[in-house]
Structure 1
């Protein structure tokens, strides 16, 4: 079993980050995520927590020989469950691979919280466990090390892609505010 941890500060408010999170895919940095389907979404009436379950469809970039040997496909599926608590301002997302999980299991937990030193920023924390299945017992350490390196590289690319989404989201909000201001000025002069 291998572990991965990373933290990052997004220079955007928690409400901006959590709103943009639902529009994270597709983005130019993560073209492997080809579809996101919402399977279930509901708000707990007692707590106000938004619960969401999504299915991410991805194109794997694994060597053809490896896929043939393991009986896999270039298309893989990931289940994501999330809890967004507007009272505590915490979004927790958990993902697990559904494809080839008998060969390799990757469980990831991501949290977004208000940054403790900067209320206009968001703290991102990411943890993952990578476990090679018993079918790979002789090679499990090698496979886990390889997957950990890929996960680390992909995590950095994913954060960069989300920064791009956040910047576009911010630009759209500013443009909408400017348009609203123009409309208000035009109607005030009537």
Structure 2
């Protein structure tokens, strides 16, 4: 049975800073498990929205009980590949992002859908509101094992969410400290449009 995790939270930064930080968020001290990030494709559609696909390779640590079960089936998971698809709309100040693992999907299929929206508060302060939904589906082993894996994935995501937020905050604070964030943003977007493939 599929398990879900849903949350809504906000980032205390304007949308342009957030948009730049989103593509520059790796590496950061809160995401040491990320090994590499490669851009697979990037284009601007007829509506002026930037579409990007990136491959993120991550290192993960499974619980002991899970490692033992997988080892009995001659399965060793030390790294996982995640496909990240984003659409950024500057006019609407919105980012739509979907990330999903593309290996070991029978053991656990994790799909995260998120929308990041730039808004202005009643105090005339610019922030970004994030709405996230994640699904966890295992098709490995018997029913109780599938459920145990899904529950572990659901719990682990919740535990890691704060680190993810701190990582984004770290990158945005660095951009703010450097100043000239609009210039940086425009430069990064221009580089993105001129280069189809690059590696962080």
Normalised-by-shorter TM-score class: 0.7 to 0.9
Higher relative contact order (CA 8 A, sep 6+): 2
Q: What are the ranges of 5 or more consecutive residues in structure 1 without an aligned counterpart?
A: 178-190
Who is 1:52 aligned against?
52
TM-score by structure 2 length? 0.81
TM-score by structure 1 length? 0.85
Who is 1:78 aligned against?
82
Alignment of 1:30-179 (within 5 A): 30-44=31-45, 46-62=46-62, 63=64, 64-69=67-72, 71-115=75-119, 117=121, 120-173=126-179
Moved over 3 A (4+): 174-177
Q: 1:38 to 1:175 in 2, by over 3 A?
A: closer
Higher-Rg structure is 1
Structure 1, residues 135-167: CA drift from partner, whole Å, max 9, x if none? 343312221111111010111111111111111
Contact 1:49/1:86 (8 A) holds in 2: yes
Report the aligned-residue RMSD.
2.0
Contact 1:72/1:100 (8 A) holds in 2: no
Matched residue SS, 2:141: helix
Who is 1:181 aligned against?
none
Instruction: Give the number of equivalent residue pairs.
Output: 176
| In structure 2, C-alpha distance between the alignment counterparts of 1:175 and 1:22, rounded to whole Å | 14
What's the offset of the Cα at 1:119? Answer: 5.1
